[in-house]
Amino acid sequence: MAGDGFSLYGNVLDAAQAQRARKWQRMFVDKFHYDPDEAYTLSLVDNPYLGPIFGLKDVVRDGEGEPIDPTNGVVCATVRMGFGHYRIAMAGASAARAMGFTPYWLDLLAIPGITSDVINWWNTNYSKFSRLSQRSPLFNTYVWESITTGDKTLPGLNWLLNRYAAGWPWRFIKANARDYRMSELFANLHRALPQEQPLLASHMWNCMGAVAGGMTHVVDMMFDNWPMAFQLIEGAKHGVQSPSGYYGFRVMRGFDDKGRMLNPTPPDALHYVGHHVDHELVEGVEDDCAARIRRMRGGEPRRFLLTMGGAGAQRELFKAIVDHCKPMVDRGEVMLFVNLGDHADNWEWLRAELGGASDVHTHFTWEDTRAFADEIRDGAAHGTHVFLHDNIFHAVYATNYLMRVSDVMITKPSELAFYPVPKIFNERVGGHEAWGAIRSAEIGDGTVETRTVPETLQAIDLLTREHDLLEMYCDSIVKNKRIGIYDGAYKCVELATGRRWVRDEAGVGSVVA
């Protein structure tokens, strides 16, 4: 990757595209007055939100905290862009803790400098277009689906994007070149970490910056189930969540914008690991599924967990679900948990939509959320419960905590598609999410994607009033655990550190020497 040229595992980008990637980098250099000699001093402080849960420590840009330990610490590197990448990093942190390591949290947005400048710029635009895709069917069909998949069979504007964009659609190697050149600007930050420090990256920019900074024990916890070239980083190991994803990355399927066959990714760079899931959720699979079946057979209200993602899209769908469930809640057929994340404006909107509903309970602190979930683990509950937190850590982790006491989760097929809980998939936000629903449906722990409101409401009715689907999903989840489908986070820690995690025939996991 020296000079203006660019290659990925022997696949050389043409000179014009490589030069455009350099121009993309130069745009950020000029826009944010990048200093190539900028030095970073990093240390550790306790994370005030998840520190008490699994010993998490934040990497901060000063020398006042604890020193970084390359032998017992695992860096969980992430970036807030929606909630999905935080969710993957939390799974890595939880697994690292279970395997005897101290997890270190490195959010590029939390480090003042070029990293936060660049990613704030990206985050603003991505969230804006995600919301627009849900408000405008035309934009979603003709622009967003094409950009987020690179699928030339879609009726999108690929010809325009290919001709004029610096690297879109994201599926192609030219997008990898653009992102790598941008992420080279993060190298100085990563040079401040020990070179041999184990690092789990939940976003390709974290991974690219670490490799550019000379780090040698870097694992890319790959997201989604639709292979796109910008997730491959030469110099890192890649933890892929599904066999179909593994094949797509292995052969670089569709990664050339002109449809040419490419050299495959070397097998020692690519690893099928399973789904990235938190230790507590994996270890609780049998108990949680047994509780779901017990509640169902006992005639208790079906507990639905409705999640709003970090981009804050899909309000109209939320309204339709809440309106549909109101009379079912009143009749004692349904319990509704609504996690609004850390979006206070969504509560103002939802409160107006709920009108004068009397059986609405709010949980706006982590202490209250945790106490409520613990109370209903073996106890009865009713009504509609709304959760809202003032920080992203509790906003994301509340869904993890609540899904253990929920019967069914209603979500777009984002990273939550990979979690061991029965799921109804509503409409995706971006074409890249479609294959998350396909993966879940095929391994038997969720529905297919319900792309219209009537389809989503039909799934709610079926899973409320019938038993067969919930029984099938719970049975599949228990079987999936036993064969390691949900062990991706442990396996990524293993790739980064060499410490092995194995599961016996009964499904019990442990560390081995």
CATH classification of the domain holding 391: 3.40.50.2000
- State the residue range of the domain holding 434: 280-482
Could you tell me if residue 325 is inside a domain?
A: yes
Contact yes or no for 170/148 (Cβ under 8 A)? yes
DSSP per-residue codes, 329-351: HHTTSEEEEEE-TT-HHHHHHHH
Q: Which of 170, 246, 182 is nearest to 209 (CA)?
A: 182
pLDDT of residue 59: 97
pLDDT of residue 133 exceeding 60, the answer is no
Quick: pLDDT tens for 477-504: 999 999 999 999 999 999 999 999 998 8
Q: Minimum mean pLDDT among 85-89, 132-136, 171-175, 386-390: which range?
A: 132-136
- The answer to whether the beta carbons of residues 340 and 308 sit under 8 Å apart is yes
Domain presence at residue 232? no
Residue 404 lies in a domain: yes
Residue 312 falls inside a structural domain = yes
Whether 261 is in a domain gets the answer no
The overall average pLDDT reported for the chain is: 90
Cβ-proximal residues to 178 (8 Å cutoff; 6+ apart), any chain:
20, 21, 24, 166, 167, 230
In this predicted structure, what is the pLDDT of residue 143? 55
Question: 447 in a domain, yes or no?
Answer: yes
In this prediction, residue 2 carries a pLDDT of: 47
Residue 125 has pLDDT above 70, yes or no: no
- Alpha-carbon span 233 to 212, nearest angstrom: 10
Residue 458: inside a domain, yes or no? yes
**Per-residue pLDDT at 163:** 44
Q: Per-residue pLDDT averaged across 271-283, rounded?
A: 98
Would you say residue 356 lies in a domain? Answer: yes
Query: Minimal CA–CA distance to 13: which of 184, 168, 174?
Result: 174
Which tokens in the block code for residue 306?
Answer: 């409705």
**Domain total in the chain:** 1
Is 0.85 surpassed by the pTM of this model?
A: yes
CB distance 78 to 89 below 8 Å: yes
Band of residue 117 on the pLDDT scale cut at 50, 70, 90 = very high
| Mean pLDDT of all residues in 42-49 | 97
Q: Are 406 and 301 in contact (CB under 8 A)?
A: no
Res 11: pLDDT = 97
What is the average per-residue pLDDT within 5-33? 95
Residue 350 CB neighbours (<10 A): 21
Q: Name the nearest CA neighbour of 311 among 125, 169, 453.
A: 125
Average pLDDT value for residue range 443-468: 97
